[in-house]
């Protein structure tokens, strides 16, 4: 739900939603882009499975003014739900193709899968080099 005085949005704010799996992405993102604002973001975390967001990253068109401009991806951070690196690489590639921005928040702290990770996996220096991406929208 939007605030009653939202109108066309505020210049210092954007809308976002969380989509932890494809089912929720398919359910939630259409509502987000229906807002018809210039800037929206997704939090794909904790990522529970591969999530394809490419169709929502398309540039605005006459029919659809909204475009997802920023995606934040990450694992659970507590190791409770293991994440696979390819799950993170897919949205990374989708974002690059669309010209959007990506922020990899944390990979995971499941030490069986990631023995080099300490803490919750939030230190980018411990992530694979190709996933050390922490971009911000303009």
The strands making up 68-74's β-sheet, listed across from edge to edge, are: 15-18, 40-44, 68-74, 101-106
Six-digit token pair at 119?
């803490």
- Low-confidence spans in the chain with pLDDT less than 50: 64
CA torsion 71-76-77-79 (nearest 10°) is: -150
**Quick one: pLDDT at residue 57?**
84
What Cα–Cα distance (Å) separates residue 59 from each residue in 24, 51, 67, 70? 22, 19, 6, 13
**Quick one: pLDDT at residue 66?**
59
Domain ranges for the chain, please list them. Answer: 15-131
Residue 72 CA to residue 134 CA, distance in Å, equals 9
**Quick one: pLDDT at residue 71?**
93
Contact call for residues 124 and 104 (beta carbons, < 8 A): yes
């Amino acid at each position: 739900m939007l605030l009653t005085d939202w109108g066309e949005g505020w210049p210092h704010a954007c809308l976002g939603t969380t989509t932890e799996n494809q089912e929720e992405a398919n359910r939630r993102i259409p509502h987000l882009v229906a807002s018809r604002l210039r800037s929206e973001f997704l939090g794909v975390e904790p990522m529970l499975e591969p999530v394809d967001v490419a169709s929502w990253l398309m540039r605005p068109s006459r029919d659809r003014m909204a475009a997802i401009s920023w995606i934040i991806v990450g694992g659970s951070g507590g190791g409770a739900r293991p994440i696979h690196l390819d799950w993170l690489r897919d949205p990374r590639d989708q974002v690059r193709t669309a010209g959007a921005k990506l922020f990899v928040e944390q990979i995971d702290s499941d030490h069986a899968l990631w023995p080099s990770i300490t803490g919750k996996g939030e230190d980018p220096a411990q992530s694979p080099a190709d996933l050390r991406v922490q971009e911000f929208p303009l």
